[in-house]
Amino acid sequence: MERLPITAIIPCYNEEANIARAIESVLWADEILVIDSFSTDRTVEIIESYPKVTLLQHEYVNSASQKNWAIPQAKHDWVFLLDADEQATEGLISEVKELIKKPVREVAFWIKRSSYFMGKRVRFSGWQRDKVIRLFLRDNCRYEDNNVHAEIIADGAVGMAKNRILHFTYKGIDKSVERIRWYSTWKAYDKVEKGSSGNFWLLVILKPFWRFFNQFILQLGFLDGKVGFHIAALSAYDVYIRGLKIIRILEGEVIEKDKK
Protein backbone atom coordinates (compact mmCIF):
# COMPACT_ATOMS: atom_id res chain seq x y z
CA MET A 1 0.00 0.00 0.00
CA GLU A 2 1.36 3.42 -0.95
CA ARG A 3 1.70 6.00 1.75
CA LEU A 4 -0.42 9.16 1.80
CA PRO A 5 1.24 12.39 0.63
CA ILE A 6 2.81 14.57 3.32
CA THR A 7 4.06 18.14 3.69
CA ALA A 8 7.22 18.92 5.67
CA ILE A 9 7.39 22.35 7.30
CA ILE A 10 10.55 23.96 8.70
CA PRO A 11 10.31 27.40 10.36
CA CYS A 12 13.64 29.22 10.60
CA TYR A 13 15.51 32.44 11.31
CA ASN A 14 19.28 32.86 10.90
CA GLU A 15 19.94 29.11 10.83
CA GLU A 16 22.77 28.93 8.28
CA ALA A 17 24.61 26.39 10.45
CA ASN A 18 21.66 23.99 10.68
CA ILE A 19 19.15 24.52 7.87
CA ALA A 20 20.81 22.25 5.30
CA ARG A 21 20.85 19.31 7.71
CA ALA A 22 17.17 19.82 8.52
CA ILE A 23 16.19 20.07 4.84
CA GLU A 24 18.24 17.01 3.89
CA SER A 25 16.33 14.96 6.45
CA VAL A 26 12.91 15.80 4.91
CA LEU A 27 13.71 15.48 1.19
CA TRP A 28 11.54 12.35 1.16
CA ALA A 29 8.41 14.47 1.76
CA ASP A 30 6.05 15.29 -1.13
CA GLU A 31 6.09 18.99 -0.36
CA ILE A 32 8.67 20.96 1.64
CA LEU A 33 7.85 24.43 2.96
CA VAL A 34 10.51 26.48 4.73
CA ILE A 35 9.06 29.48 6.55
CA ASP A 36 11.78 32.08 7.00
CA SER A 37 11.44 35.10 9.28
CA PHE A 38 13.59 37.34 7.03
CA SER A 39 16.98 35.91 7.97
CA THR A 40 19.99 38.20 7.72
CA ASP A 41 22.65 35.48 7.34
CA ARG A 42 23.09 32.88 4.55
CA THR A 43 19.95 30.92 5.49
CA VAL A 44 17.88 32.02 2.48
CA GLU A 45 20.77 31.37 0.07
CA ILE A 46 21.07 27.81 1.39
CA ILE A 47 17.32 27.21 1.21
CA GLU A 48 17.18 28.40 -2.40
CA SER A 49 19.87 25.86 -3.36
CA TYR A 50 17.28 23.08 -2.92
CA PRO A 51 14.95 23.03 -5.99
CA LYS A 52 12.35 20.92 -4.20
CA VAL A 53 11.92 23.42 -1.36
CA THR A 54 9.32 26.20 -1.42
CA LEU A 55 10.54 29.26 0.48
CA LEU A 56 7.94 31.41 2.20
CA GLN A 57 8.78 34.47 4.28
CA HIS A 58 6.59 35.72 7.09
CA GLU A 59 7.17 38.29 9.80
CA TYR A 60 7.85 36.63 13.16
CA VAL A 61 5.69 37.37 16.19
CA ASN A 62 6.29 34.23 18.20
CA SER A 63 6.86 30.55 17.52
CA ALA A 64 3.22 29.52 17.92
CA SER A 65 1.83 32.20 15.61
CA GLN A 66 4.52 31.48 13.02
CA LYS A 67 3.70 27.77 12.97
CA ASN A 68 -0.06 28.41 13.01
CA TRP A 69 0.41 30.62 9.93
CA ALA A 70 2.52 27.96 8.22
CA ILE A 71 0.32 24.91 8.82
CA PRO A 72 -2.62 25.98 6.57
CA GLN A 73 -0.15 26.60 3.72
CA ALA A 74 0.41 22.82 3.45
CA LYS A 75 -1.19 21.15 0.41
CA HIS A 76 -1.41 17.72 2.05
CA ASP A 77 -3.42 16.49 5.03
CA TRP A 78 -0.45 15.08 6.90
CA VAL A 79 2.20 17.49 8.15
CA PHE A 80 5.67 16.70 9.48
CA LEU A 81 7.05 19.77 11.24
CA LEU A 82 10.74 20.10 12.05
CA ASP A 83 12.55 22.97 13.74
CA ALA A 84 15.63 24.16 11.87
CA ASP A 85 17.99 22.81 14.57
CA GLU A 86 16.46 19.33 14.36
CA GLN A 87 17.05 16.31 12.14
CA ALA A 88 14.79 13.36 11.37
CA THR A 89 16.57 10.03 11.87
CA GLU A 90 16.38 7.25 9.26
CA GLY A 91 14.36 5.15 11.68
CA LEU A 92 11.85 7.94 12.21
CA ILE A 93 11.54 8.57 8.48
CA SER A 94 10.70 4.89 7.87
CA GLU A 95 8.23 4.90 10.76
CA VAL A 96 6.44 8.03 9.53
CA LYS A 97 6.09 6.52 6.07
CA GLU A 98 4.50 3.41 7.60
CA LEU A 99 2.18 5.41 9.86
CA ILE A 100 0.63 7.31 6.96
CA LYS A 101 0.16 4.34 4.64
CA LYS A 102 -3.41 3.87 5.82
CA PRO A 103 -6.02 5.70 7.89
CA VAL A 104 -5.28 5.70 11.62
CA ARG A 105 -7.38 6.81 14.57
CA GLU A 106 -4.68 9.21 15.75
CA VAL A 107 -4.62 12.79 14.46
CA ALA A 108 -1.12 13.48 15.81
CA PHE A 109 1.95 11.74 17.20
CA TRP A 110 4.40 12.63 19.95
CA ILE A 111 8.05 12.16 18.94
CA LYS A 112 10.87 11.92 21.48
CA ARG A 113 13.99 14.02 20.99
CA SER A 114 17.63 13.19 21.60
CA SER A 115 19.37 16.48 22.31
CA TYR A 116 23.01 17.47 21.96
CA PHE A 117 24.65 20.25 23.99
CA MET A 118 28.28 21.35 23.71
CA GLY A 119 28.89 18.44 21.35
CA LYS A 120 27.62 15.77 23.75
CA ARG A 121 24.37 13.86 23.78
CA VAL A 122 22.43 14.73 26.91
CA ARG A 123 20.99 11.56 28.44
CA PHE A 124 19.75 12.97 31.76
CA SER A 125 19.36 16.51 33.17
CA GLY A 126 15.58 16.25 32.76
CA TRP A 127 15.95 16.09 28.97
CA GLN A 128 15.46 12.33 28.79
CA ARG A 129 11.68 12.80 28.71
CA ASP A 130 11.71 15.52 26.05
CA LYS A 131 9.01 14.97 23.44
CA VAL A 132 7.17 17.12 20.91
CA ILE A 133 4.25 16.67 18.53
CA ARG A 134 5.75 16.83 15.05
CA LEU A 135 3.52 14.56 12.92
CA PHE A 136 -0.12 15.61 12.69
CA LEU A 137 -3.16 16.15 10.50
CA ARG A 138 -3.26 19.71 9.19
CA ASP A 139 -6.95 20.35 9.86
CA ASN A 140 -7.06 18.81 13.34
CA CYS A 141 -4.15 20.55 15.02
CA ARG A 142 -2.85 24.00 15.89
CA TYR A 143 -0.46 25.44 18.44
CA GLU A 144 -1.67 26.84 21.74
CA ASP A 145 -1.46 30.60 22.17
CA ASN A 146 1.77 30.81 24.19
CA ASN A 147 4.71 33.07 23.43
CA VAL A 148 7.23 30.28 24.12
CA HIS A 149 7.20 26.48 24.45
CA ALA A 150 3.75 26.26 22.86
CA GLU A 151 2.57 22.75 22.04
CA ILE A 152 0.03 21.35 19.60
CA ILE A 153 -3.61 21.25 20.63
CA ALA A 154 -5.01 18.19 18.86
CA ASP A 155 -8.67 17.59 18.07
CA GLY A 156 -8.51 13.82 18.44
CA ALA A 157 -6.33 10.98 19.68
CA VAL A 158 -2.56 11.48 19.96
CA GLY A 159 -0.17 8.53 19.59
CA MET A 160 3.53 8.03 20.31
CA ALA A 161 6.21 7.32 17.70
CA LYS A 162 8.95 4.84 18.54
CA ASN A 163 11.84 6.61 16.84
CA ARG A 164 13.43 9.97 17.59
CA ILE A 165 14.33 13.40 16.31
CA LEU A 166 17.88 14.65 16.86
CA HIS A 167 17.99 18.13 18.42
CA PHE A 168 21.16 20.20 18.10
CA THR A 169 20.34 22.85 20.64
CA TYR A 170 23.81 24.34 21.24
CA LYS A 171 25.11 27.08 18.93
CA GLY A 172 27.84 28.53 21.12
CA ILE A 173 27.79 30.00 24.61
CA ASP A 174 26.98 33.53 23.40
CA LYS A 175 23.98 32.19 21.48
CA SER A 176 22.88 30.19 24.53
CA VAL A 177 22.93 33.28 26.74
CA GLU A 178 21.20 35.31 24.01
CA ARG A 179 18.51 32.62 23.79
CA ILE A 180 17.96 32.84 27.54
CA ARG A 181 17.64 36.61 27.27
CA TRP A 182 15.11 36.26 24.46
CA TYR A 183 13.04 33.44 25.96
CA SER A 184 13.05 34.90 29.46
CA THR A 185 11.40 38.09 28.21
CA TRP A 186 8.61 36.25 26.42
CA LYS A 187 8.12 33.86 29.34
CA ALA A 188 8.02 36.77 31.78
CA TYR A 189 5.23 38.44 29.81
CA ASP A 190 3.36 35.11 29.62
CA LYS A 191 3.59 34.78 33.41
CA VAL A 192 2.49 38.37 34.01
CA GLU A 193 -0.50 37.91 31.69
CA LYS A 194 -1.47 34.83 33.72
CA GLY A 195 -1.38 36.74 37.01
CA SER A 196 2.11 36.04 38.38
CA SER A 197 2.95 37.84 41.61
CA GLY A 198 6.14 39.84 42.08
CA ASN A 199 7.37 37.85 45.09
CA PHE A 200 11.11 38.58 45.26
CA TRP A 201 12.13 35.58 47.41
CA LEU A 202 10.13 33.13 45.34
CA LEU A 203 11.06 34.40 41.88
CA VAL A 204 14.76 35.20 42.13
CA ILE A 205 16.00 33.06 45.04
CA LEU A 206 13.92 29.95 45.71
CA LYS A 207 12.92 29.08 42.13
CA PRO A 208 16.43 29.39 40.60
CA PHE A 209 17.92 27.33 43.46
CA TRP A 210 15.23 24.69 43.04
CA ARG A 211 15.73 24.54 39.26
CA PHE A 212 19.45 23.84 39.65
CA PHE A 213 18.94 21.24 42.40
CA ASN A 214 16.15 19.54 40.48
CA GLN A 215 18.05 19.28 37.19
CA PHE A 216 21.51 18.48 38.50
CA ILE A 217 20.55 16.18 41.40
CA LEU A 218 16.98 14.89 41.12
CA GLN A 219 16.99 14.67 37.30
CA LEU A 220 20.46 13.05 37.41
CA GLY A 221 22.22 15.86 35.54
CA PHE A 222 25.43 14.98 37.36
CA LEU A 223 25.55 11.81 35.23
CA ASP A 224 26.01 14.07 32.20
CA GLY A 225 29.19 15.39 33.82
CA LYS A 226 30.33 18.93 33.13
CA VAL A 227 27.70 19.36 30.44
CA GLY A 228 25.02 18.44 32.98
CA PHE A 229 26.37 21.09 35.37
CA HIS A 230 26.39 23.74 32.65
CA ILE A 231 22.82 22.88 31.65
CA ALA A 232 21.59 23.13 35.25
CA ALA A 233 23.45 26.40 35.84
CA LEU A 234 22.16 28.01 32.65
CA SER A 235 18.66 26.78 33.41
CA ALA A 236 18.82 28.29 36.91
CA TYR A 237 20.03 31.56 35.39
CA ASP A 238 17.07 31.43 32.96
CA VAL A 239 14.66 31.12 35.90
CA TYR A 240 16.43 33.93 37.78
CA ILE A 241 16.43 36.41 34.88
CA ARG A 242 12.80 35.55 34.07
CA GLY A 243 11.82 36.21 37.69
CA LEU A 244 13.67 39.51 37.70
CA LYS A 245 11.92 40.54 34.49
CA ILE A 246 8.52 39.65 35.97
CA ILE A 247 9.25 41.93 38.92
CA ARG A 248 10.45 44.76 36.68
CA ILE A 249 7.45 44.43 34.32
CA LEU A 250 5.07 44.57 37.29
CA GLU A 251 6.91 47.69 38.45
CA GLY A 252 6.28 49.34 35.10
CA GLU A 253 9.46 48.67 33.11
CA VAL A 254 8.93 47.94 29.42
CA ILE A 255 11.22 45.15 28.17
CA GLU A 256 11.55 44.77 24.41
CA LYS A 257 10.39 41.47 22.95
CA ASP A 258 13.01 40.63 20.35
CA LYS A 259 12.39 37.88 17.83
CA LYS A 260 14.31 34.66 18.17
How is 122-155 classified by DSSP, letter by letter?
--STTGGG-EEEEEEEGGGEEE-S-SSS--EEES
User: Are residues 100 and 213 both part of a single domain?
Assistant: no
Helices of type H across 32-166: 43-47, 63-70, 90-99
Q: How many domains does the chain have?
A: 2
**Whether residue 54 is found in the same domain as residue 138:** yes
Given 168, 185, 201, which residue is the final one in a domain?
168
End residue of a domain, out of 168, 187, 212:
168
Torsion of CA 113, 73, 60, 193, to 10 degrees: -80
Distance CA 218, CA 251 (A): 34
147 burial (CB, 10 Å; 0-12 / 13-18 / 19+) is buried
The pLDDT value given to residue 259: 58
User: Does one domain contain both 128 and 63?
Assistant: yes
In 10 A of CB 40, how many CB atoms?
A: 10
Domain that holds residue 181: 173-250
C-alpha radius of gyration, the chain, whole number: 19
Q: Is residue 255 in some structural domain?
A: no
Q: Give the per-residue pLDDT at 25.
A: 97
CB 145 within 8 A of CB 95: no
Q: Are 50 and 94 in contact (CB under 8 A)?
A: no
| Inter-residue contact 211 to 180 (CB < 8 Å) | no
Q: Supply the pLDDT for residue 17.
A: 93
Tell whether 260 is covered by a domain: no
| Averages of pLDDT over each 10 residues, the chain, 260 residues | 90 95 97 97 97 96 91 97 97 95 90 95 92 96 85 95 95 91 90 90 97 97 97 97 96 81
Q: What is the pLDDT of residue 1?
A: 66
Q: Give the domain CATH number at 94.
A: 3.90.550.10
Q: Which of 149, 168, 187 is the last residue of a domain?
A: 168
Domain identity same for 140 and 209: no
pTM: 0.88
The pLDDT value given to residue 260 = 54
Residue 87 shares a structural domain with residue 191? no
| Rounded Cα distance, 198 and 253, in Å | 13
Is residue 256 one of the residues assigned to a domain? Answer: no
